[in-house]
Amino acid sequence: MKLQTNQICILLLIFMLQKEIIGQVLVDMKNGHCDCEELENELECVIIQKCKFENGKCKSLSCDSLQGSLLAGCYLAKGQGCILNFLEGKCTQFKGCSSYEYKTQNECNLLPTKCYYDSELKRCEDQTQLPSCSEQLQSECFHGKEGICVFKDGKCQEFTKCEDVEKSDKRCQEAYPSCNYISFNLCRNQIGGCNQGSQSSCPNMRETINGENFFLCERKIVDGQQACVDWDPQEQTMDSCLFESQFTHHWKDDQCVKCQPSNHNSSLRLEIVIMLLTLAF
């Protein structure tokens, strides 16, 4: 029996909203940090270090202003095009992946856009300029437009399961902490939710290996034991909201709410929901 259009739309809506229903908090750790203009109280404005509180409002500082004691704020200002160039020890405007003499993938990951380390050119390059994984030969199957690739089932495809490679494979090491090769004898999957954590290890968990969305996690005592659980914005106060959310939430109307930075395409999901509702009803 075929599903009607409205039934399909409703199923899609349930899938999209599932994470909110079960209480998981998903944030973009590369470009999802709060804009200064979103912060409504002086405490949060000062804490975030990329802003200044002036005439009763929180305002953004330029990249050049984020030096010395404010240098840490540069990391949180990626969304406004700032880059903390650790080789020079200063905050500057981002000029492109290949403009920095970085030597590892981890260093390239610090840049505001999707950059990968090209071992032949020995520099960071723009990942979006690569062909997709499916377009690559086995000999070239490592980085693609999507991120890390893997050769599987006779073809090059996006790397989505850590178990598809050995612990010693460079893909597993580059995908850390999405894939954990340090604490286990295999390349262990560590994506999808905070329940992938343990008593000893509870980092924020990536949604997918190649994505920038993370589930916010925290350690808590559950049934008398330490557990890795979802971070709960409803348990926060004005003093803890911004810091405990790693600068992705702020205090508004006596609640800890998710920031909506202007550079982030946060409206796309809402537009899709509206479109599906229109089709369904």
Confidence band (pLDDT; 50, 70, 90) for 109?
A: confident
CB contact burial 207-238 (16+ within 10 A = b; e otherwise): bebbbbbbbbbbbbeeeeeebbbbbebeebee
Share of the chain above pLDDT 70, in %: 85
What sign for the dihedral angle of Cα 192, 25, 46, 220? negative
According to the model, what pLDDT value does residue 203 have?
87
Q: Indicate if the pLDDT at residue 279 is higher than 70.
A: no
Q: What is the pLDDT of residues 224-236, one digit of tens each?
A: 888 999 999 999 9
Residue pair 96/126 in contact (Cβ under 8 Å)? The answer is: yes
Q: For residue 121, what are the CA distances in angstroms to 102, 156, 245?
A: 11, 22, 37
According to the model, what pLDDT value does residue 9 have?
41
Q: What is the pLDDT of residues 185-220, one digit of tens each?
A: 899 998 989 988 877 778 899 999 999 999 999 999
What is the pTM (predicted TM-score) of this model?
0.80
Residue pair 108/87 in contact (Cβ under 8 Å)? The answer is: no
152 burial level (CB within 10 Å; 0-12, 13-18, 19+):
middle
Residue pair 127/107 in contact (Cβ under 8 Å)? The answer is: no
DSSP, residue by residue, 68-123: GGGGGGGGGGGGGTEEEETTTTEEEE---GGGS---SHHHHTTSSS-EEEETTTTE
